[in-house]
Every structure is written in C-alpha cells, then in structure tokens.
Amino acid sequence: MMDIKRIISKIERDYIISNLKKEERIDGRGLWEYREFQIKSDIIASAEGSADVSLGDTKIITGLKYEVGEPFPDLPDEGVCTVMAELLPLASPLFERGPPDEQSIELARVVDRGIRHADCVQTKNLCIKEREAVYILFVDMYVINYSGNLIDAGGVSALTTLISAHIPEGVWNSDKGETDWTGKYITGETLVKELPFVVTYGKIDDIIFLDPSLPEELVCDGKISISVTEEKITSIQKSGAATFSIDEIKTLGKKSLEIGKKLRKDLNLLQYLSKID
C-alpha cells in the first residue's frame, strides 16, 4: 500500500525537486517517459463498448451506453457524444463522496474537448433521421485507482472505448415515426476517424516533465495538457498555478506531436476494433 497524504512533507518535496533538477524521477523514469500503459477492451457485457486502461498504477474503466434522442436544433443531422468522469472514493483516500467536483469535471471536459475538436467521433454517422432521431453516446469514465495523470489515462480509455464500440443499427420507420432495429451494428470503423491523444506535463520551478505520477502531481506548481492528432494540436488546458513561457509552450507543442505519434504507433489502438458484424 502506498502512503498517500494530501500534504507532502517539505523533505519529500525537496527530494522530488532535487531529483528532477538532475533530470531524474523518483520512480526511475526519464523526464520525457510515460509509465507503462496496459489496455483491455470490451470487458463489460452490458456496455456497447468498454475499456480497462492502466497507466502505471492509475486505473480507469470506461463504458459506453447510447440512447436515441432528438438532435440539437442547430445540428439537426448529427449525433451527440458526451464524456463523464467519476472519481470514485474507492480509488483514493483523496477522493470524497458526493456530486462531481472540479477535478472530475476538468478530467471529463479535457478528454471531451480532445475528442470533440479532432474529427474523432463521426457524429454525422450517428444520425438516424434528420431533426427526429440521433444517437446520444455516453462515454463514462470510472477511476478505480488514482496514482496521478488521470487525463492521459482517461483519454486513452475513452478512445479505446469508442474504438471497441458496437451500437445497434437503427433505421427510421416513417410510417410509425420511430426507429426500427436492423439487427446489425455500427462499429468503431464507422464511428471513429482521427485518434486524438492527450499528453500531460507537470511543471515545478522551471522543470517540465511528462506524465506526472501522484507524488509529482501533489508537489508540482501546475500542469499543461495538450491534445494532438496526427498533424495538429486540437486542445490545450493549463491547470494549476504554474506559468509557462512562450518558448516552453512552443517546445511542448512540438514535443506533444512527437509523443502523440509514438503513442499512436506503440498502443496501436485500432487493434481493439469490435469484431462483431
């Protein structure tokens, strides 16, 4: 069991910082190294897509459910995809019961924006009948163990869930004015195009490092999360009280694209496409 406190002692903080200054991490990683990702897909029978993703000791299980509902009036032929996150009190003594707090809303929002602005979910393919019926997808993330950097683990978890999705295919029955089910499935190939990855860095003093672990997250001044597709940056979130120089932001933008490329290749998420017809 790990010793988790809300406040880290000054000695521990100094130890983490002095190591970082030597470009060393307390868990032996280099400054630009991720912890190991472990991914399992389609693990929940009741969900139309699911993933169990671990990043080091951080573990997030995500599931997808759908409803058929009316589209937004300004997007009459597009489905909707929403992301929610629950920081379960089971996952850490730092998490409390109750309605979603700032941290869980930020996690859901950052992952959502990464996906939304990347041409990832093909919302036009989620339309059953213009102005009448579209799919509403709920991608719900549950944190099972919290050991730092929920955002990157959540991003991969949500993405794998969408890739593994298999949603019953509906056609519009204009006589009855309702949806009929064909018995076939809409799968990840129709649903997902671009694969966005969120890359998060921590900053202490003027040292920046990838994938903050829990102790690093607790002592760092702030973080920055950058979502990237193959070629483009699609969303950025700076959080915490740190400030970043223009040069640092430029470097991190470039770095994120490189790291995104590597993740895309190493994780090979398309292997989790649903095999169902």
Partner 1 sequence: MPLIIKDEYPKKLFREDGKRLDGRSEKELRPIKMEVGVIQNADGSAYLEWGNNKIYAAVYGPREVHPHHLAKPDRGVLRVFYRMATFSVFDRKRPAPGRREKEISMIVADCIEPVLFLELYPGTSFEVFIEVLDADGGTRCASTTVAALALADAGIPMKSLVSAVAVGKIDGKKVVDLSGIEDKAGDADLPIAITWYNEEVSLLQFDGDMDLSEMNDFLSDAKEALESIHKTQLNVLKSKYLKLQEETKTNKEKESKKGDE
Rule CB under 8 A: which residues touch partner 1? 1-2, 4, 42-48, 50, 57, 59, 61, 63-67, 84, 86, 88-93, 96-97, 99, 138, 140, 142, 144-147, 166, 168, 181, 183, 276
C-alpha span between 49 and 41 (Å, rounded): 8
- Looking at the chain, list the stretches that DSSP marks H as alpha helix, in order from N- to C-terminal side: 10-21, 102-116, 150-163, 188-191, 214-219, 246-267
Closest contact distance (angstroms) between CB of 92 and partner 1 is: 5
Closest contact distance (angstroms) between CB of 142 and partner 1 is: 6
Angle at the Cα of 96 (from 94 to 98), degrees rounded to 5? 160
CB 37 within 8 A of CB 265: no
Closest contact distance (angstroms) between CB of 123 and partner 1 is: 18
Task: Return the H-helix or E-strand segment holding 258.
Answer: helix 246-267
Comparison of 90 and 270: residue with beta carbon closer to partner 1: 90
Comparison of 17 and 88: residue with beta carbon closer to partner 1: 88
Comparison of 170 and 196: residue with beta carbon closer to partner 1: 170
Comparison of 41 and 227: residue with beta carbon closer to partner 1: 41
Residue 27 to residues 70, 213, 262: CA-CA distances in angstroms?
A: 49, 9, 22
C-alpha span between 65 and 50 (Å, rounded): 9
Token pair listed for 109: 């929002």
Terminal C-alpha separation, the chain: 44
Amino acid at position 32, single letter: W
Comparison of 133 and 224: residue with beta carbon closer to partner 1: 133
- Looking at 117-186, list the stretches that DSSP marks H as alpha helix, in order from N- to C-terminal side: 150-163
Comparison of 181 and 265: residue with beta carbon closer to partner 1: 181
